Amino acid sequence: MTPEEYGVLGGTAKVTDAACERFNTVLASARTAGPAAPAGAGTAAHREDGPPVGLLAALALQAGELLLVRAVGRRGMVALHGMQKLRLLRRPRTGGELTSTAAVRSVKALGAGTATEVVVSFADENGNAVAESTSLLVHSPPLSAPLPSPAPAAAAGDPARTTAYGITRELVAAYAAASGDHNPIHLSPEAARSAGFDEVIAHGMLTFALAGRHLADRLGEDRIGELQLRFNRPLAVPAAGAELFITDRTAANGALVLTATDGAGTPVATGRAALLPPPTDRGTHRA
């Protein structure tokens, strides 16, 4: 199919205080170590600042997947997340309703499967553009062998800021409930093995949400203007759990370079974040 043949799918999403608090509670339960959060940080502070970037991205992913299922379905295919980008244009408020518009930007053959780029735009009750999400979704037949591990990323000269998270199967299940992503490869060892994985794998969007949480704890939720991750390999979650380390370093242009690594130091995701100036430096145009 061509991108035009997928059409456009509209929808609405209610960003309630309860949903934001639940989502932040799930993310907070994963933290095991790292730099101290700034004064006033925590679940309540994140909720009052507006919905976390991970929740907005999860809502966008739902809208994009609904568009794909409506158009062609994906039975018998393994769905993996290749890349996720969220750009914030205006800080949405909790308690408000967002309208979404999902469309396919590109479709490319990838072996026996496809790589589909889906763009979802959000607007608030007044029609103001709020955010734009871009997802690269890969659908392929069941894997015959585990994905190879990429070489560890080279260390940069800028001091690293790292937060450690404990990823358990219980946490993955809680994230599935909070985000609405119930893909069985994240929840069932049998489904994961039938798809070609040795263990249950964590949602790529859980890593994305924790990267957003790492930045929000350190800088404040409203400093995140854009967050993008490319998922290098799935994070396996055995019965004993797994470790995930989110690290950011400042690049020469002021953007932040992000790396997510497992307990062995292997990158599972890499990306970047663009920061907004502190609220007092912005004036009133982003009210």
Burial 13-41 (b: 16+ CB within 10 A, else e): bebeeebbebbbebbeebbeebeebeeeb
The predicted pLDDT at position 78 comes to 74
List the structure tokens of 144: 């015959």
Give pLDDT, residue 167. Answer: 97
CA distance 229 to 268: 10
Q: Is residue 112 packed enough to be buried (19+ CB in 10 Å), middle (13-18) or exposed (0-12)? A: exposed
- 230 Ramachandran zone, left/alpha/beta (phi>0; psi -120 to 50): beta
pLDDT tens sequence across 232-281: 999 999 999 999 999 999 988 888 999 999 999 999 999 999 999 887 76
pLDDT at position 206 is: 97
Residue 282's pLDDT band, with cuts at 50, 70 and 90, is: low
For residue range 266-279, what is the model confidence (pLDDT) as tens digits? 999 999 999 998 87
What is the pLDDT of the chain when averaged over all its residues?
Answer: 86
Helices (H), the chain: 3-6, 17-28, 43-48, 53-71, 169-179, 189-194, 204-219
Task: Give the separation between CA 120 and CA 133, rounded to whole angstroms.
Answer: 5
Q: Show the DSSP H helices in 98-223 as ranges.
A: 169-179, 189-194, 204-219
CA distances from 270 to 44, 229, 231, 245, 287 (A): 29, 5, 7, 12, 31
Mean pLDDT calculated for residue range 20-41: 73
pLDDT band per the 50, 70, 90 thresholds, residue 144: low
Distance CA 177, CA 77 (A): 22
Q: How far is CA 163 from CA 187, 208, 245, in A?
A: 25, 13, 6
Closest listed residue to residue 210, CA positions, set 241, 240, 171: 171
- So what's the pLDDT on residue 265? 94
pLDDT in tens, 70-120: 877 766 667 788 999 999 999 888 888 999 999 999 999 887 788 999 999
Burial class (CB in 10 A: 0-12, 13-18, 19+), 2: exposed
Highest-pLDDT range among 43-57, 104-118, 159-173: 159-173
Neighbouring CB atoms inside 10 A of 229's CB total 27
Q: Yes or no: say if 81 and 136 are a contact pair by the CB < 8 Å rule.
A: yes
pLDDT of residue 93: 84
pLDDT of residue 233: 92
When comparing pLDDT for 111 and 188, which is higher?
188
Sorted by sequence, the CB contacts under 8 Å of residue 106 that are 6+ apart come out as 3, 116, 117
